[in-house]
Amino acid sequence: MALVSRLIGEESGEYERMAEEVKEKTHQFFWNEKKGCFIDSRARNLIIKAGRPQLMGVRLLL
């Protein structure tokens, strides 16, 4: 959206800020330094999605 905004002559700052936030959160929650890749993994019925553990579809309040 930032690129499209720039192409049509509109302000792109807000879209650029949102894109940077998504990039930071993606790295924070999905980057596995040990494996050197992005992951979304399961282990013993515990599902890790977007940094929030869930147990069989129920969000845990951690």
In this prediction, residues 49-55 reach a mean pLDDT of 53
Q: With bands split at pLDDT 50, 70 and 90, how would you rate the model's confidence at 48? A: low
Confidence of residue 58 (pLDDT cuts 50, 70, 90): very low
Q: What are phi and psi of 19, to 5 degrees?
A: -65, -40
Position 60 confidence tier, pLDDT thresholds 50, 70, 90 = very low
Distances (CA, A) of 54 to 23, 41, 43, 50, 57: 23, 11, 11, 10, 6
List the domain boundaries for the chain: 2-59
Beta-carbon neighbour count of residue 15 at 10 Å? Answer: 16
Position 40 scores a pLDDT of 75
pLDDT in tens, 6-37: 899 999 899 999 999 999 998 888 888 888 88
Sole residue written with tokens 């599902």: 47
